[in-house]
Amino acid sequence: MSPFEIKFDFPLAHSDLIISLKATAELHHSQPYYVVDHFQTASAKTSAAEPSILPPQEIKQIARNSAKVWVHKDSEKESVLSLAIGKGIDEAMKPR
């Protein structure tokens, strides 16, 4: 599968602010997880040469207590960021 763009809302901790972000997600095949990079604000017109506002993230979906949860690949723990990115991937993968 080719890299694809995702969009998601990220709530800032200890604040009522929510930032709309976009990023590029790519499925890694040997172990099914996504590498997500090139984070930019969703409203900004950016070029590929601009630096990402967040470092690359590796997330995967796992089953936990009979529910599917998006977690960080290394720790297998969810965070506000992994859940938001996962929601963006789910939305991008929906049939149109």
Range of the domain at 9: 4-93
**What is the spatial distance between Cα 59 and Cα 27, in angstroms, rounded to a whole number?**
10
**1-60 pLDDT per residue, tens:** 699 999 999 998 889 999 999 999 999 977 789 999 999 998 877 666 789 999 999 999
Total domains in the fold of the chain: 1
CA-CA-CA-CA torsion sign (48, 50, 52, 56): positive
Residue 96 has pLDDT above 90, yes or no: no
**Residue 7 and residue 42 in contact, taking contact as beta carbons nearer than 8 Å:** yes
